[in-house]
Amino acid sequence: QKEVEQNSGPLSVPEGAIASLNCTYSDRGSQSFFWYRQYSGKSPELIMSIYSNGDKEDGRFTAQLNKASQYVSLLIRDSQPSDSATYLCAVKGTGRRALTFGSGTRLQVQP
C-alpha cells in the first residue's frame, strides 16, 4: 500500500462545476496535509494546507480533513479551464521531516 494514494484521473468536469479531488494516507499519526497544483511542465505550487479535522476554505478552494478515516480532499468550486492541472496531495507523517507526495490527480475542466 502506498503511503499517500490518489486516483490518477483524469477527472473531467465542465466549467462552473465543483471538482472533488481525494487523497488517502496510511500513517494514522500524520499531522500536516497539503495540496499542490502542478501545471504541465511546471513546478508544484502550494494552494492549501490543513492540520485539523474539518473544512478550510480559501476562495474557490476548500480542503477537508478526516483523520479518523485517513483522507483529505480538495474541492474546487466554479471550476475554470485554468484549473486544469495535476493536483498533488502531500502528507507530513509521524516523526518525518519530509513530505510524502501522492502521484497526483489530473484535472481537466472542459469549457
Partner 1 sequence: EAQVTQNPRYLITVTGKKLTVTCSQNMNHEYMSWYRQDPGLGLRQIYYSMNVEVTDKGDVPEGYKVSRKEKRNFPLILESPSPNQTSLYFCASSFPGQGREQYFGPGTRLTVT
Where along the sequence are the contacts to partner 1 (CB under 8 A)? 4, 8, 31-32, 42-46, 49, 51, 88, 90, 92, 97-104
Please list the residues that pair with 66 across neighbouring strands: 71
Please answer whether residues 109 and 19 qualify as being in contact, where contact means their C-beta atoms are separated by less than 8 angstroms.
yes
Nearer CB in complex with partner 1: 17/56? 56
Nearer CB in complex with partner 1: 34/109? 34
What whole-number distance in Å separates Cα of residue 1 and Cα of residue 11? 22
Nearer CB in complex with partner 1: 104/107? 104
Cell of 70: 485517513
